[in-house]
Structure 1
Amino acid sequence: MGKLDGRVVLITGAARGQGEREARLFAAEGAKVVLTDVLDGQGEAVAKDIGPGARYVPLDVGREEAWADAVAAAKEAFGKVDGLVNNAGILRFNELTGTPLDEFQQIIQVNQVGTFLGIKAVAPEIAAAGGGSIVNTASYAGVTGMAYVGAYAAAKHAIVGLTRVAALELARRNIRVNAMCPGAIDTAMSNPAQLDPEADAEQASRALDELYRKLVPLGRAGRPEEVARLALFLTSDDSSYITGQPFVIDGGWLAGVSVV
């Protein structure tokens, strides 16, 4: 018996990285999964590989009408939606005063507005299904400062606040809302070498680990499957009395600075 038997969960940004691992793990735990992304070819391939309990639906999370279409497609495929993982996000590095306005707005539109639109579109469906959970992907940068990612940090801080408000408002509808705050995770977002077909993926991962060896007490970057397991915990009944909370998963990075 799986932890998510009978559940239908929509996961954004599920064509690769954390979202893909979440979709695969949720399916293995008995859920029907609706994978959404703007990377249609990759998303369709992942859904096909997972099997008949998965569907891929194109979704630009920053467009409200696209959310309505995605929810309708999910209900057509599986009859209901009672879980949401707002995973989709983008990252750009730039000095704050040198960040173009359109770049700042793009990051806010995808990361912050996309999360808001997901809650707005899916919460009524979860309530109609009798309740469930929403997991928002914030960041280590959503609970502390980080230089050169001002727009990203602003959006991720907003997601933490939005999570708390949503938890308060949706509790009476039997919907729990929590946030994950990952640190450096070995995905294409933090490790672009993964997108280079000629690159050695293992070597790229070792290089990322080396970069964070002195910053992170556990001495390495996180793995997407580790974040997926946290998403599973927050989606399943294992966390039935938890709502409105940000969960930092960063190998101890936020704990402080070691002098050793």
Structure 2
Amino acid sequence: MNNVALITGASRGIGHHLARHFYDLGYTLILIARHAPALEAFAATRDPARITTLAVDLSNTATAEPLLRQVLSDHARIDVLVNAAGIFRPGSTQTPVDDFSTLLATNVTAIHLLCQLCTPWLLKSAQGRIFNLASISGVQPFGSIASYAASKHALVGYSRSIARELGAQGIKVTTLCPDVVNTDMAEGSGLAADEMLSTEDICRAVDFVMSLSPAAIVEQLTIGRQPRPRQPR
């Protein structure tokens, strides 16, 4: 029986590349995102027996929860949960309250829902793991994006706390905190492609964490960017 990975945000960006990565490793996938055509396009070029897709807005927990429960009931266990779904909104003290609430709903509350629902299935795995994708802005202050940073700080705190709770039950939780990654979410960053992290960096980070001995746990992994060297005057 193949290992099973549930990956959110799988239609684009980091989530999409992690879906490709875990598929290539031989996993059976449960892929979740809002954009159904992108999920269907991914599944259409691969073994349909190894892929389940669910198009749903995870920030709408009332709608998402029963659909998630149904998808989980079709699988005997989950080995890896990757919470890669997330949104970005610029702004700090002037961020509209609705935007602030949407950031928290997507970047924190939805992840809590996934962790809550998947825990019983992860406990059925010999090596259950959760990867929550936060951001370097969840561990460092950035004045121009305080609202986004607030959501990521909350996610880091949440993830590190459940790492202690679930670790005692055999589930390892790792929070990934990368700097700017070269995806469509980075548009407007002003950085060139070679100044950003690649999605492959995130895949390699996941591989690194999973390659460690059973006794090892990485609760938080921050992945920074190498600044360009200054040109001599």
TM-score computed with the length of structure 2 as normaliser: 0.88
Pick from 171, 181, 188 the counterpart of residue 177 of structure 2.
181
Deviations 1:183-224 (A, max 9, x none): 11110111279xxxxxxxxxxxxx7327xxxxxxxx611111
Alignment of structure 1 residues 4-153 onto 2, 5 Å? 6-52=2-48, 53-65=50-62, 66-76=64-74, 78-94=75-91, 96-153=92-149
Aligned-partner SS, 2:144:
coil
Instruction: Name the structure 2 match of 1:231.
Output: 206
2:37 corresponds to which letter in structure 1?
A: G
Q: For 1:126 and 1:68, how far apart are their aligned partners in 2? A: 18
Pick from 156, 162, 167 the counterpart of residue 152 of structure 2.
156
Gaps in structure 1 of 5+ consecutive residues: 194-206, 211-218
Structure 1 residues 21 and 242: alpha-carbon distance in aligned structure 2, compared to 1, 3 A threshold: same
Structure 1 residues 154 and 247: alpha-carbon distance in aligned structure 2, compared to 1, 3 A threshold: same
Gaps in structure 2 of 5+ consecutive residues: none
Deviations 1:124-157 (A, max 9, x none): 2111334400000010101101122111101111
Corresponding position: 1:209 with 2:209? no
Deviations 1:40-99 (A, max 9, x none): 1111111222323222112322233414422431441x43222100100000112x2211
Q: Is the 8 A contact 2:93 2:146 kept in 1?
A: no
Q: For 1:243 and 1:71, how far apart are their aligned partners in 2? A: 28
Q: For 1:232 and 1:223, how far apart are their aligned partners in 2? A: 15
Structure 1 residues 220 and 16: alpha-carbon distance in aligned structure 2, compared to 1, 3 A threshold: same
1:19 positional shift: 0.4
1:92 corresponds to which letter in structure 2?
A: R
Identity of aligned residues (%): 29
RMSD: 2.4
Q: Is the 8 A contact 1:163 1:244 kept in 2?
A: no
Instruction: Name the structure 1 match of 2:223.
Output: 249
1:180 positional shift: 0.5
1:73 corresponds to which letter in structure 2?
A: V
Q: Is the 8 A contact 2:88 2:103 kept in 1?
A: yes
1:245 corresponds to which letter in structure 2?
A: E
2:214 corresponds to which letter in structure 1?
A: S
Q: For 1:33 and 1:192, how far apart are their aligned partners in 2? A: 32
1:209 corresponds to which letter in structure 2?
A: A
Q: For 2:214 and 2:2, how far apart are their aligned partners in 1? A: 16
TM-score computed with the length of structure 1 as normaliser: 0.80
Q: For 1:74 and 1:28, how far apart are their aligned partners in 2? A: 22
User: Runs of at least 4 residues of structure 1 off by over 6 A?
Assistant: 257-260
Decide which moves more: 63-72 or 125-134.
Answer: 63-72
